[in-house]
Amino acid sequence: MTIPPLTPMPLSTLLGRIADEWTSRSRIFDIPTARIYDVSSGPDLSVDFMGRTAATPIGPAAGPHSQLAENIVLAWLGGSRIIELKTVQILDELEIGRPCIDMETIGFNIEWSQELRISESLEEYVKAWMILDILSGWDELKPHLGDDPGPHIFDLSVGYDLAGIRSDKVSEFIDGLIDASASIERLRPEIPEPFAAWREHDFDPHIADTVTLSTFHGCPPDEIESITKHLMTRHGLDVVVKLNPTLLGFERVHGILKGTLGYDELRLRRSDFDADLQFERGIELIGELRRFAAEQGRRFGIKLTNTMVVENHRDFMPEDTMYMSGAPLHVLSMTLLDELDRALPGVLAVGENAGEIQVSFSAGISKDNLGEAVGLGLAPVTICSDLLKPGGYGRLKPMLTTLGRAMEEAGAGDIAAWRAVRAAEAHAAGATGPVAAHVASLHDPDTNGAYTRDGTSKLPRAVDHELDMWGCVACNFCVTVCPNDAFFRLPTPEAMAIEGRQQYFVLAELCNECGNCLTFCPEIGDPAEVKPRIYTDRSRFEAGDRPGFLVTADGGRVGVLAAPDLGAEVARLTSIFNEAEGLPLRLSTLIES
Ligand SMILES: Cc1cc2nc3c(=O)[nH]c(=O)nc-3n(C[C@H](O)[C@H](O)[C@H](O)COP(=O)(O)O)c2cc1C
Ligand code: SF4
Ligand code: SF4
């Protein structure tokens, strides 16, 4: 049997977990109340995205934070209001090498599309949509989320070739999110207490009507053009085309990464640039798609950028090729924005231009540069690498509060006013405009330290201690860096004689062995392997990909079955899981023992 990398939890389990975790520990999927963002707590951060309003300009970039329903809920609780869903493509049984994420310094990865079957992706997005609606109206959350969390947008992401996108499977997926009535009706009866009143709720079935096309490396320009036209005409979607940093050309990228920023170890291959869209053709393509969209009464936008393809020079992940993200990508993508803005004067809706083409952005966004990106008119500004660092989804709220504070200090009550402030500041400093001013600061050795190799080379904390099943330095990093919230922690019962005040556990079916907790765990060892692996699905448990424990409902208590050789731990786990702050899963959603 092929073991799927992820087994999503049913809607009833997710909602049961939300309610029980809230009652027993005031958290939802491990995010504490202090990290839940209230949109009424600062200035108006709402933005327009392709004619729709979102209450904040940020969200997770297509990636590991927008794949499972709970990831999307976490991103929304943190303040995301434009969610770029994980890219869906026809190949939905890809074997991805592990580990697949390397965030030790800047950011590299080798995974770039969904790890669920297409039908499962559809269901995850519908479940997330329903949960957000339920939580928006849940009185318990109002003191933290505010009375009205404001509108949010789910932006589809599809790839990577026309044949796949035109296939029945992908077409049905897209149609199923444009009108999700059938899925909602099927899921509605699953809604458990205390949310049962929402079984009658009028959920909006129109989950998405925009799509970001992920054009991966090597996707020919004609194909990009045909896919965009297909998505506009067959599905009636507004389309954003996500471009690659290779558009800047080999010499420019080489000069920036190695010359300006000092990343001498990066290995760029000229052939990757030759195979990608070239700048002049890119300008033509933007012109053609802009004309076509206008003709069709649709909107067209661009997104800067996808990751940068490089040869794998490190020994953490398998594969010869990997994809770079984070701080240096920010410099490349902003430089590309400046180039495109110059080549298409007044066309892009950035800086001081009203511009007809909206530009969304994902490249090395953090708390420190979000204000600049939003002040350029980029929307949405999406984030991936920064959310894979310790703090995880909890890093979103400080991004928004820092932005809000800067706006308040400048007297800007909304994003339009903030853009005007930033433009005035750029001119006062002698720049031709705000885009040019930001790009100049990224290339200036006096101001670009945070983007250089020296500025990004600090390694995660390490202690000289072998990781054990019980006890550790309890830094909580494995909980926060996991995009799937696969890790959870529980207090050690007072009477239990084991090391440590907190114990850490992995929900095995949510762990795709991406390696991110291994990178950040300060102890020696892989938390996803060493800490107790908890299964709820009998077949996954019995398949024994990695040995662990099956949790069951056992006469009104949590029961535990162990894989061979782990039997000695059963009594301890049973005791911990039956404490007041026990297993964060509702008994009624567990299988009977
Ligand atoms: C682990 C990982 C997975 C990603 N998966 C996708 C994907 O499925 N589709 C996509 O268009 N981009 C994907 N990306 C790229 C991100 O959406 C984003 O464009 C890029 O990482 C740059 O943003 P960042 O610097 O904030 O990470 C992925 C990035 C990472 C790190
Ligand atoms: S538990 Fe660790 S390896 Fe598993 S998905 Fe989470 S971060 Fe990745
Ligand atoms: S397992 Fe590692 S990362 Fe997780 S809390 Fe313990 S020391 Fe920190």
Give the three-state DSSP class for 313.
Answer: coil
* Residue of the CA atom closest to atom 4 of ligand 2: 511
Q: Calculate how far, in angstroms, residue 198's C-alpha sits from the geometric centre of ligand 2.
A: 32
Give the domain ranges of the chain: 11-452, 477-589
Question: CA-to-CA distance for 566 and 578, rounded, in angstroms?
Answer: 19
Q: Quick check: CB of 45 below 6 Å from ligand 2?
A: no
Q: What φ, ψ does residue 36 adopt, rounded to 5°?
A: -95, 130
Q: Minimal CA–CA distance to 277: which of 238, 225, 320?
A: 225
Cβ atoms of 41 and 406 closer than 8 Å: no
Exposure of 181 in the CB half-sphere (CA atoms within 13 A): 1
Q: To test ligand 3's pocket by mutation, which of 480, 489, 523 has the most ligand atoms within 8 angstroms of CB?
A: 523
| Residue 188: both structure tokens together | 């509605």
Helix axes 118-136, 11-25, angle to 10 degrees: 40
Give the three-state DSSP class for 238.
Answer: strand
Q: What share of the chain is helix, strand, coil (3-state, %, to 5)?
A: 45, 15, 40
Q: Calculate how far, in angstroms, residue 301's C-alpha sits from the geometric centre of ligand 3.
A: 42
Which ligand 2 atom lies nearest to the CA of residue 487?
A: 1
Q: Calculate how far, in angstroms, residue 126's C-alpha sits from the geometric centre of ligand 3.
A: 33
Maximal C-alpha separation, the chain: 74
Q: What is the mean pLDDT of each run of 10 residues along the chain (593 residues)?
A: 83 97 96 98 97 98 97 98 95 86 97 89 98 98 98 95 94 98 98 97 98 86 95 98 97 98 98 95 97 98 97 96 98 98 97 95 98 98 98 98 98 98 97 97 98 97 96 97 98 93 96 97 98 95 89 97 95 96 96 91
| Residue 172: both structure tokens together | 């049905």
Q: Quick check: CB of 506 below 6 Å from ligand 2?
A: yes
- Ligand closest to Cα of 305 equals 1
* Residue of the CA atom closest to atom 4 of ligand 1: 63
Q: What φ, ψ does residue 203 adopt, rounded to 5°?
A: -70, 135
pLDDT for 2 equals: 67
Q: Minimal CA–CA distance to 545: which of 527, 523, 563, 558?
A: 563
Q: Calculate how far, in angstroms, residue 61's C-alpha sits from the geometric centre of ligand 1.
A: 6
The β-bridge partners of 28 are: 31
pLDDT for 160 equals: 86
Q: To test ligand 2's pocket by mutation, which of 484, 518, 523, 529 has the most ligand atoms within 8 angstroms of CB?
A: 484
- Ligand closest to Cα of 511 equals 2
| Residue 471: both structure tokens together | 């006890």
Question: CA-to-CA distance for 17 and 22, rounded, in angstroms?
Answer: 8
Give the three-state DSSP class for 483.
Answer: coil
The β-bridge partners of 562 are: 549
pLDDT for 215 equals: 84
- Ligand closest to Cα of 481 equals 2
**CATH for 11-452, among 3.20.20.60, 3.20.20.70, 3.40.50.720, 3.40.190.10?**
3.20.20.70
Q: Calculate how far, in angstroms, residue 553's C-alpha sits from the geometric centre of ligand 2.
A: 26
Question: CA-to-CA distance for 92 and 116, rounded, in angstroms?
Answer: 6
Question: CA-to-CA distance for 131 and 190, rounded, in angstroms?
Answer: 12
* Residue of the CA atom closest to atom 2 of ligand 3: 521
Count, in order, helices (H) and strands (E) of the chain: 21, 21
Cβ atoms of 461 and 491 closer than 8 Å: no
Q: To test ligand 3's pocket by mutation, which of 465, 475, 481, 498 has the most ligand atoms within 8 angstroms of CB?
A: 475
Q: Quick check: CB of 490 below 6 Å from ligand 3?
A: no
| Residue 281: both structure tokens together | 């053709």
259 CB-contact burial (10 Å; exposed 0-12 / middle 13-18 / buried 19+)? exposed
The β-bridge partners of 361 are: 304, 381
* Residue of the CA atom closest to atom 6 of ligand 2: 482
Q: Calculate how far, in angstroms, residue 462's C-alpha sits from the geometric centre of ligand 3.
A: 11
Long-range contacts made by residues 191-200, C-beta under 8 angstroms, separation at least 24?
191/11, 191/12, 191/15, 191/130, 191/134, 192/12, 192/15, 192/16, 192/19, 192/586, 192/588, 193/19, 194/19, 195/15, 195/19, 195/134, 195/138, 198/130, 198/133, 198/134, 198/137
pLDDT for 387 equals: 98
Question: CA-to-CA distance for 383 and 398, rounded, in angstroms?
Answer: 13
Helix axes 279-296, 327-343, angle to 10 degrees: 70
Which DSSP string do the residues of 503-570 spell out, in sequence order? EEEEEGGG----SHHHHH-SSBS-HHHHSPEEES-HHHHHHTSS--EEEEEETTEEEEEE-TT-GGGH
Amino acid at 357: I
Tokens 């509605």 sit at which residue?
188
Q: Which residues contact 35 (CB under 8 A, 6 or more apart)?
A: 77, 78, 393, 394, 396, 397
| Secondary structure (H, E, C), 332-396 | HHHHHHHHHHHHCCCCECCCCCCCCEEEEECCCCCCCCHHHHHHCCCCCEEECHHHHCCCHHHHH
Cβ atoms of 399 and 392 closer than 8 Å: no
Question: CA-to-CA distance for 593 and 590, rounded, in angstroms?
Answer: 9
Question: CA-to-CA distance for 571 and 479, rounded, in angstroms?
Answer: 24
Which ligand 1 atom lies nearest to the CA of residue 326?
A: 25
Q: To test ligand 1's pocket by mutation, which of 115, 325, 519 has the most ligand atoms within 8 angstroms of CB?
A: 325
Q: Calculate how far, in angstroms, residue 472's C-alpha sits from the geometric centre of ligand 3.
A: 6
